[in-house]
Amino acid sequence: LCSKGAVLGEPFDAPAEDIASVASFIETKLVTCYLRMRKPDLALNHAH
């Protein structure tokens, strides 16, 4: 989705805030997945 611009509209012309928002969303999903897999050490690496 990101490479085709579906998430950000124009992928090479997106404001830094939009990119940070998408990155934060992905990090949140990673933390959730690692916690469900009972891997708190990996979750902590992606939490900020």
Distance of alpha carbon 23 from alpha carbon 44, whole angstroms: 16
Assess if residue 25 is contained within a domain: yes
Q: Looking at the whole model, is its pTM more than 0.85?
A: no
Range of the domain at 32: 17-46
Assess if residue 22 is contained within a domain: yes
Assess if residue 23 is contained within a domain: yes
Assess if residue 5 is contained within a domain: no
Report how many domains make up the chain.
Answer: 1
Task: Give the torsion sign (CA, 7, 17, 45, 47).
Answer: negative
pLDDT of residue 10: 61
- Structure confidence by residue, pLDDT tens digits, 1-48: 445 555 556 656 778 888 889 889 999 999 999 999 999 998 888 776
Give the distance, in angstroms, between the CA of residue 43 and the centroid of all CA atoms in the same chain: 13
Assess if residue 38 is contained within a domain: yes
